[in-house]
Amino acid sequence: MQVDAIREFMRESFPQAKVDVLTVGNKGSMLRQEIDFSHLRPGGTVSGPTLMGLADAALYVAILGEIGLVALAVTTNLNINFLRKPAADRALVAECRLIKLGKVLAVGEVYLYSEGSQEPVAHVTGTYSIPPKRDGN
C-alpha cells in the first residue's frame, strides 16, 4: 500500500518523468526508468542530467518512505561520480540507501546501473533538507 501511495504521488508530482518505483521502505528504494531518444547524448549514451534526475528521485522516494507524503523535502546537495558509459538501449535502475535520517537533514547514496549489468554507471550522494513539523498537527 505504501509503495502504491508513493507511486501515485510520484506520478502526480512528476508527470513528465518515466520513473517507476520498484521498491521502497527499510531506508531504501529501487527505481527504474525507461530510456528513449530524449535521454540520449551524442555517442549513444544516456545524458548526465537523466542520471542525476533518477538518483534525485530515488533519494526523494526513500525519504518519503520514512517520513510520509506530507512533508516537502528539498535537495540541498548532490554529488555524482560518472563511472562507466551507460547503455543507450537499456533501462536505468537506481538503488538507494539512506545513511542518515535526521530531523533536519537526510543523507543517502545511490548506485545507478544499466539494467542487467553488475557494474554501476554512476554513484551519487545527496542531502535533503527536511522541513520542520508544524505545531498543531
Q: Interface residues with a copy of itself (CB under 8 A)?
A: 13-14, 16, 38, 41-43, 47-50, 52-53, 56, 72, 74-84, 99-100, 104-105, 107, 109, 111, 120, 123, 125, 127, 129
| Closer of 2 and 79 to a copy of itself (Cβ) | 79
Q: Which is nearer to a copy of itself, 23 or 125 (CB)?
A: 125
Partners of 25 in the β-ladder: 28
> Which residue number, 117 or 129, has a Cβ lying nearer to a copy of itself?
129
Determine the 3-state secondary structure of 64 from DSSP: helix
d(CA 45, CA 122): 13
Q: Minimum Å distance from CB 111 to a copy of itself?
A: 8
Cell numbers at residue 71, please?
Answer: 512533508
Q: What is the DSSP track for 4-54?
A: HHHHHHHHHH-TT--EEEEEEETTEEEEEE---GGGEETTTEE-HHHHHHH
Nearer to a copy of itself by Cβ, of 118 and 137: the residue is 118
Rounded least distance, CB 128 to a copy of itself, Å: 10
